[in-house]
Structures are given as structure tokens and as C-alpha cells.
Amino acid sequence: MGQSHPPHHRTKGRLIGGIRRWVTAAVGALALTAGLIAAGPPASAAGLTQVTGFGTNPGNLSMYTYAPDTLPPGAPLVVALHGCTQSASDYYAHSGWPKFADRYGFALVLPQTSSANNANSCFNWFDPADSSRGRGEALSIRQMVDQAVSRYGSDTRRIYVTGLSAGGGMTANLLAAYPDVFAGGSVDSGLPASCASSVSAAYTCMYSPPDRTPGQWGDLVRAAAPAGTTSWPRVAIWQGTADTTVRPANATELRDQWTDVWGLGQTPSRTENLSGGTTLSVYDDASGRPAVEVYSVSGMAHGLAVDPGSGPDQCGTAGTYYLDTICSSYHTARFWGLDGDTPDTGALPAPTGLTVTGTTDTTVALSWNAVPGAASYTVHRGGAKVGTTTSTAYTDTGLATGTTHTYTVAAVDPAGVAGAVSAAVTAATSGFTPTCHTASNYDHTTAGRAHQSAGRTYANGSEEPMGLWNTFTVHTLEQTAPGHYVVADSGCPA
């Protein structure tokens, strides 16, 4: 607003708008950037302050901020990204974030895109030119963070980002591109980082996201981040089970992506039942602190979870794509520790140099660099503690042949408090024992033995066709190597 639009953005807007108008005519649906819909006309900008001159602004975005009158220096900062057809003021009015900025004492930055960038005013989460580190809209948002830190004296260790739908897709990409900036994120009805790099791929991600392994999803984050990154954001994932715009499978792939980045398994540390038909699955890091949380809201369609009311855990205003279920902003703020109830963690830094020094068919040997002040070290496999040692080496025993495992290490101080967790390493035991599995194509896919594309099923590794992806087509698969399956309906040698 009040800024000129560079010619290349006008061209991009016309190009993407033309693509969407063609898709709209083809499918008879509302034109969306990758189908990510949002609420209607913008609300008033009361309570918001527009900030100009925050940087070179290569993404051609507008910056709005909100801060409580009594905001102290050193307070946290939250960046909140609207969805398609929305605006900063619309998200400010409906999402509930201002209530908790006032209660807990933090500043808000609300970036805003426009139809000059995208025909439906969506953040271009699917375009690497706008969603990669140091480029386009992502860099503009990074510049807004710098401006807000200077303006409010924000604590650079407590900067967070959240977003709905297209804003959620951009949030995941920002977390991957700037893990050195954001301590945490919340992806609301959004998509995994680097899920798409084009408009057509965006539709695939929304309706049938690629069934990649956790390691493959994690590799996309590691590739987007600065080389040598060892500290990662804590990520909340919100998804409605009845969302037909961004399918619930995206929450599963997001979970796989970020638990892998943290070196955790995909089995939750615990689950809880919350209000609004919400199930919370928590994935703890090696120190026992939640690293990834998944909120699955039963029966909720596409949108942001809000819960209008004056209660301490209520927030927001219901409306189109602001759905009256549970206050996501409240639970996300508490997950990030903005309520001041962050679990204590030790002051010891993460061990460096974690290395696999050897493997056998049943063991994995590890070593790492010593941490000054450490009394001992805890070793974790797949997020679960498997051993404690006072040395800087450990051998994990009793493993199955031909299996792959992810390890992290944390230093423990003399008081018994674990510090930061190391970067993860992956190791595979030698040998392999073939196994046979008879199940429906659907069950093979959910178990990770096969994957589906365009409604048809293919065996992982061999890519052998298995027919329709449903519960009525049954095959026997033989696992002949880690991650490699062949159809063995005529007889399984194993």
C-alpha cells in the first residue's frame, strides 16, 4: 500500500492470474493460488500501524505491526501471515493473536501481499523465487523482522512465525529457509516445506501430497537451510480432518518432515484430548521438551481454528475460514512458551561432531566432541533415550539387521539437566532379513510399503504397479532390502 509495484511483479501477477483463470474455467471452482482459500473483504486497519521503508522489499509486500502500549524491551516477536484474498487487518481482526500479544507481552508483524503479486493476494509459497532464503517475499519478511527488532527491541532468540493456508505454506518455507531467525512456527491448514515449485505441483500437494519418507522430507528442509545448521524451530501443525482444500495428509507429511529434522521418530511421546474435538500429538526432544506438536481438529474444514469468547483459552472471531472450534492462537502461544511457562532446559550447548564410527549387523557405534561442564551424555535413537554415558562414545546394541536409525546426543550438567540437542546422524546396520506382507493396497500405502499416485498404487523401491489404491485390492509384497518391495503374489520366498 502506497508503494510502487516493480514491472516483474506486475508480469508475474498477470501470468499467475491467467493460469488460475484457466483452471477456474476448467474445474468450475473459485480461482485460488493452489486452491488456498481465505476470508472475504478486509476489515478496518484499526490497531495496526503501517511501516514503510523497512528494506529493499524485493517481494513487494506491505508491513503492518501491532504492539501493546506497555511492551517492554526484550519481548518476543510473532509474524502472522494471512491467507488468500485476506489482508493484514483481516487476520488481525479474526485470528485472536492481538489478545495474546496484550496478555503475554509481545509484538506482532503482519505482512500483507496484494493482487499485484498474485491474482488472489496469496503469498507465493509455491514459487522458489519468493519462498527461498534471500529471495522475493521471503526476504521481504526477513527485512520486516529486522525492522521490528529495531523498532521494539525484540529478543532475537524468541521470534516466531505462523500462517493460514497459503500463509501456512509460506510459514513452512520460512522455517526451513531461516532456522537461524525463527525459534518456532505454526503451520495452520498448510503444506510441507518445499512441497511444490510450480502452480501445477501446488495442486498436487494440496489434494494428494507426495508420499515421501521422513528422511526425504527432512532433506528438503536441510537443503533450504544454511549449511551446517544444527538448531531447528519448534513446529506446531494444525489441521482439520474434513479439510477438502488442503487434505489432512499434508499434516502427516509435515509431521514426518519436522520430526525427521529434529532426529525424532514418528510415534508421539504422548497424546491429549482437547476441546473442540481436537487431538494433540506431542513429539518431545531429547530433553523432554515438545519439539513438534500436531493438532487434529475433528470435523473441521479448511480454515483457522478460533473459539470466540472471553475465557482465558478463547479467542478470535468466527467467519468464513475462521472456524469456531478451538483457539489455535492460545495453544500455539503456549507451545512456544510465550505465556512464560517454558520448561527449563540446561545451559549446556549441543554436542558437536556427532559421527557414526562403525556399524555391524546389530550395532551402531557413535562418537562426538566433549562439552565443557558436562557430567554425562544422553543418547537418543528415534527420539527415545537409549543410553547414558560419561564418555564421548557410545555403542547401541541389539538392533535388527538391515535397519536404519537416527541418533542425537545431549550433554547433561551436574544437576542432571540436559542441554541442547545435537544435530542428528543416521546409521544403517548391515545385512537384511527379507519379510513378506499381505494386505490391501491402502494398508500397504499407510504402512509405508507402497505409495499412490493419481489413485493407483506402486510398490516402494521397485515401483511395480499394484492397481487401484483401495481396501479391496490385496497383494503380497516381499521386502528384499531396506525400503525396497516387490510384488510376490505367486509366492513369497521369505
Every domain of the chain and the residues it spans = 7-335, 355-428, 435-487
465-493 pLDDT, tens digit per residue, is 999 998 899 999 999 887 889 999 988 87
CA-based max dimension of the chain:
73
Q: Who contacts 227 (Cβ-Cβ below 8 Å, separation ≥6)? A: none
C-alpha cell at 404: 536404519
Class of domain 355-428: mainly beta
Quick one: pLDDT at residue 328? 98
- For residue 247, pLDDT over 50 is answered with yes
User: In terms of residues, how long is the chain?
Assistant: 494
Q: Is 173 exposed, middle or buried (0-12, 13-18, 19+ CB in 10 A)?
A: buried
Helix, strand, coil content of the chain in percent (nearest 5): 25, 30, 50
**Separation CA 439–CA 33 (nearest Å):** 38
Alpha helices in 111-213 (DSSP H): 128-131, 136-152, 166-177, 199-207
Residue 165 designated active-site? yes
pLDDT confidence band for 8 (50 / 70 / 90): very low
pTM value surpassing 0.75: no
Mean pLDDT on 135-164: 95
pLDDT confidence band for 336 (50 / 70 / 90): very high
Catalytically annotated residue among 62, 95, 140, 165: 165
- For residue 36, pLDDT over 60 is answered with no
Which residue type is seen at 93?
A: A
Q: For 140-154, 278-292, 412-426, 453-467, which range has the lowest pLDDT when averaged over its residues?
A: 412-426
Quick one: pLDDT at residue 383? 63
Quick one: pLDDT at residue 384? 67
Half-sphere exposure in the Cβ direction for 368 (13 Å, CA): 30
Task: Yes or no: say if 86 and 43 are a contact pair by the CB < 8 Å rule.
Answer: no
Q: For 76-80, 351-355, 378-382, which range has the lowest pLDDT when averaged over its residues?
A: 378-382
Quick one: pLDDT at residue 4? 33
Mean pLDDT on 357-362: 92
Q: For 68-82, 336-350, 404-418, which range has the lowest pLDDT when averaged over its residues?
A: 336-350
Quick one: pLDDT at residue 487? 93
- For residue 338, pLDDT over 50 is answered with yes
Mean pLDDT score across all residues of the chain: 87
Mean pLDDT on 169-190: 97
Quick one: pLDDT at residue 405? 82
- For residue 16, pLDDT over 60 is answered with no
Mean pLDDT on 376-385: 81
CATH number of 7-335: 3.40.50.1820
